Amino acid sequence: MPQDVFAPWLDPDAKPIIQFKNVTKRFGDFIAIDDLTIDIYEREFFALLGPSGCGKTTMMRMLAGFETPTEGNILLSGQDMAPVPPNKRAVNMMFQSYALFPHLSVWENIAFGLRRDGMPKDEMAARVDEMLRLTRLEKFARRKPHQISGGQRQRVALARSLAKAPKLLLLDEPLGALDKKLRQETQFELMDIQEKTGTTFVIVTHDQEEAMTVASRVAVMDHGKIVQVATPAEIYETPNSTYVADFIGDVNLIEGKAGEKEGDKLSISWAEGQPDIIGTPQTSFDKGQTIHFAIRPEKVSITHDKPTNPVAFRGKVLDIAYLGNLSTYHVELPNGQIIKAQTANNRRISRRGFTWEDKVWVSWTDTAGVLLEN
């Protein structure tokens, strides 16, 4: 393994900083976390991604100490965290609402945690100034939280939670309150700060783009379980289930039955009068088994003439969504199936090739899609 790639999860000797061991959390009858096991490594930027109610926030609150697991253990650097109260944990949290103390200035907010540790005055001042520099807030130190903008508040919350140099920083939807442009800028800022401080970050988000941008690994969650943990590229290119494929990005999902296997290729029959789809399976399928074929729209080509690709269908353009840099075409096949195809708009709009009702070909290579069991 090359040294410059950061992937401690592939290294069998690496010691995880956080371990969830068969953790279950119940609120009354409701199971928020269901027998969950996962390792998170030092210096990782780890994202918990899922819809609201999937248990990601509960996981974070258990790490911070505001909830305790009903069953199982959570270890921090090999130590069981259950008996440690939130105020004694080397873990800090950045709250979704930021939870800045409205009666204290920016400076005092950042100093709050240091003061609790009884840090000497001059040392504390130096640390607070360092944090202000890191988050570019020097000019706002004397202001109260309501006198600064939303983006600045977000940075104060970050500075405050980083001030104590925690082993682990938890970020609960840290950019949820910001508008899109600011959010994108801040994502890079977050990554930059994470790299500079070398702190392990665990971020909770429901925004897949955000998770993909910032994280070294993403855990996709659903109903208290982790469905898949992998790097953003792996999650996108080789989702392990239709849930993940559908949750991350845009996808065409086609249901069919497994046919004959020829070499490493498998043919899938999916509709009367349509040619089979040829795919490259990662796992073995029984003949006749139900298969979902998932393919990303940008991997589907759209052409006027019959393409050379091994999988090709004829259809007509039903809808065009023009997104500026990209266009998405909805192509209807004769049996009613709609295939989304995406092309980059590297030409001006007046010279665009396809319009409504055009007869076109959609096609892809036999390795472009993923075959999934459910």
The residues binding other proteins (CB under 8 A) are 27, 64-66, 85-88, 91-93, 95-97, 99, 101-103, 112-113, 116-117, 146, 160-161, 164
CA atoms lying within 13 Å on the CB side of residue 248: 32
21: β partners:
73
Closer to other proteins by CB, 88 or 352: give it. Answer: 88
Q: Least separation, in Å, of the C-beta of 106 and other proteins?
A: 14
Closer to other proteins by CB, 112 or 243: give it. Answer: 112
Output the CA–CA distances (angstroms, integers) from residue 175 to 159, 187, 203, 263, 300, in the order listed: 14, 8, 10, 48, 33
Cα–Cα distance measured from residue 211 to residue 335, given in angstroms and rounded to the nearest whole number: 37
Closer to other proteins by CB, 159 or 212: give it. Answer: 159
Q: Least separation, in Å, of the C-beta of 374 and other proteins?
A: 27
Closer to other proteins by CB, 52 or 346: give it. Answer: 52
CA atoms lying within 13 Å on the CB side of residue 73: 9
Among candidates 237, 218, 216, which has minimal Cα distance to 227?
A: 218
Residue in the structure block whose two tokens are 């697991």: 69
Tokens of 311: 């999988």
Q: Least separation, in Å, of the C-beta of 172 and other proteins?
A: 9
Q: Least separation, in Å, of the C-beta of 99 and other proteins?
A: 4
In eight-state DSSP terms, residue 15 is P
Are the C-beta atoms of 92 and 117 separated by less than 8 Å? no
Q: Least separation, in Å, of the C-beta of 355 and other proteins?
A: 35
Closer to other proteins by CB, 203 or 277: give it. Answer: 203
